[in-house]
């Protein structure tokens, strides 16, 4: 599912306003008003595409006369040299939108490409059915786009925000235990008060916390920074009574072994907080028309 167009336009408009708050001084003084351009979005390295609608939106918002031809779709794999889109229209507008269009599509494609590597690493692991999911460790203001990029790379999304689920993490538990509150009772009380459509997840960092969390009725139990042997024991002790999520210490070298322990979900903050922008370029051919335009 792609990001809603209104959300894309909101993010892209904010980015364009940041980049050219009073117009593009260079293009408006240097480039003739009647100049047109044709540009190609070209991959400089292999990867997975994400953000083609975001790329197109930057040009559409700057100038309705600019046409964008999509030659690839979100989720498509490509190799270096592939042309992913073509842009045609007034040169000033294309030059003004170029950096925002590239920044966002490079960022999203980087997230999608990294996610695809994690998904590939757990695919076919014996005894594994684990999903790769993101976290809230996203770039402020870009969460919608980065979550889409994770999906385009074959991953799944965790909760979108603090408003979407009850998720008791280590600091929540520290506050509760410091106040002498029984954890199982606190979780049962929270379940009694939460909407029937909500989900209750609890993060633990020791196996001796497990019985209280199960007694409290957690829907998902996150085993955070557990050794592989402890992950396997945790999965066995939970025995299907809750979804088991593994988190912490996850990288491309460890994720397959974590998946083999039988966990249901592996959350990876690196999908968004450590993905590098993919190298995409916009190759532009400028035409000055009949030469009568004025800068």
Cα 157 from chain centroid (whole Å): 8
Separation CA 154–CA 148 (nearest Å): 10
Residue showing tokens 């889409």: 148
Give, in degrees to the nearest 5, the angle at Cα 105 between 101 and 110. Answer: 150
CA 227, 158, 124: angle at the middle one, nearest 5? 60
Q: What is the DSSP letter of 278?
A: P
Could you give the CA distance from residue 18 to residue 139 in angstroms, rounded to a whole number?
16
Residues involved in catalysis: 99, 137, 169, 203, 224
Say how far residue 264 (Cα) sits from the centre of its chain: 20
3-state helix, strand, coil in the chain (%, to 5): 40, 20, 40
Strands 265-267 and 280-287: unpaired
């Amino acid at each position: 599912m792609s990001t809603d167009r209104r959300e894309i336009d909101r993010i892209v408009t904010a980015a364009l306003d940041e980049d050219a708050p009073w117009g593009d001084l260079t293009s408006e003084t240097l480039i003739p008003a009647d100049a047109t351009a044709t540009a190609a979005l070209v991959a400089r390295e292999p990867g997975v595409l994400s953000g083609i609608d975001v790329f197109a939106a930057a040009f559409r918002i700057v100038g309705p006369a600019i046409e964008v031809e999509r030659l690839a779709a979100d989720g498509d794999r490509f190799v270096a040299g592939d042309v992913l889109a073509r842009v045609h229209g007034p040169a000033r507008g294309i030059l003004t939108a170029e950096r925002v269009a590239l920044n966002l599509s490079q960022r999203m494609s980087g997230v999608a490409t990294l996610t695809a590597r994690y998904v590939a690493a757990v695919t076919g692991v014996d005894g594994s059915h684990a999903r790769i999911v993101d976290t809230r460790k996203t770039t402020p203001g870009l969460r919608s786009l980065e979550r889409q990029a994770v999906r385009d790379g074959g991953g799944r999304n965790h909760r979108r925000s603090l408003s979407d689920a009850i998720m008791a993490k280590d600091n929540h538990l520290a506050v509760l235990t410091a106040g002498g509150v029984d954890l199982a009772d606190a979780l049962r009380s929270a379940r009694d008060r939460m909407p029937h459509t909500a989900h209750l997840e609890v993060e633990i960092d020791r196996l001796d916390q497990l019985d209280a969390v199960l007694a409290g009725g957690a829907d998902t139990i996150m085993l955070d920074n557990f050794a592989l042997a402890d992950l396997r024991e945790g999965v066995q002790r939970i025995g299907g009574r809750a979804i088991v999520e593994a988190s912490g210490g996850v990288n491309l070298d460890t994720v397959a072994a974590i998946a083999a322990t039988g966990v249901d979900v592996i959350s990876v903050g690196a999908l968004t907080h450590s993905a590098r922008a993919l190298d995409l370029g916009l190759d532009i051919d400028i035409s000055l028309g009949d030469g009568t335009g004025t800068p």
